[in-house]
Amino acid sequence: MRIIPAIDIIEGKCVRLSKGDYSTQKVYNEDPLEVAMLYMDYGFEYLHLVDLDGAKAKSIVNHNVLQCLASKTNLKIDFGGGIKSDEDLRIAFDCGANQITGGSIAIKNPDLFKRWIQRYGEDKIILGADVKGDKIAVGGWLETSEQDIEPFVESYHKEGIKYVICTDISKDGMLKGPAFDLYERLINGNPNINLIASGGVSNESELPKLLEIGCEGVIIGKAIYEKKISLQTLSEFNTLNS
């Protein structure tokens, strides 16, 4: 199971929200490169980078941060937030994204998202499945669709999606544990997907359970910033279980 540190960006700074609420933002570092370099120093290979301004604006905003991190570190970056058009996708890949995550686009413009899957392949396009009460949330989590999580994931798995990042928004940034039951349901229903857990991780004891359930990766953000889990501990777990 891969440990994937997260950096969320507002106005070029590293922030975290609680339950996706923009009014709760807390700035943890004004220099994303400093944070990314620290992750690289501890041996991490992957980074989850989210453009929260872009998610709200419905087009990429912080592409300069992506370009900086991609050009000055060796991290393989999956990038999401505001990718709604072919131009957004081009910008993301041109700026160095290894993968992109599409969430709102998969609900609001499924034909375009399916074309991206066909054109770029399963290793480049990640499905973002963010849920509020089992319904898919979109638009920077500011809107909730009528689409249920399980058929949503299953339908895109049939279209060729391999990687799925799933966040239970009620857990995100709360440091009260991941949505174990939700992840177990999704993996049991779609055993061939690579499910990446996101949201709620609060301590190292939760990681073996995510591994046991069958998660391919786990994204961790606030627990690192708040020093609930040390980077050394995560690095050692990563080495043993990746």
Instruction: List the catalytic residues.
Output: 8, 130
- Partners of residue 25 on adjacent β-strands: none
- Tokens 């933002």, residue located: 25
Classify the phi-psi angles of 223: left when phi > 0, otherwise alpha if psi is within -120 to 50, otherwise beta: alpha
**Alpha carbon 131 to its chain's center:** 13
**Which H helix or E strand runs over 133?**
none
- Partners of residue 7 on adjacent β-strands: 49
Torsion of CA 93, 95, 96, 98, to 10 degrees: -30
Euclidean distance between the first and the last CA atom of the chain, given in angstroms as a whole number? 5
Please provide residue 216's backbone torsions phi and psi, each rounded to the nearest 5 degrees.
-80, -25
Structure tokens at 154: 């299953």
C-alpha closest to that of 8 among 48, 44, 41, 42:
48
Biggest distance spanned by C-alpha atoms of the chain = 43
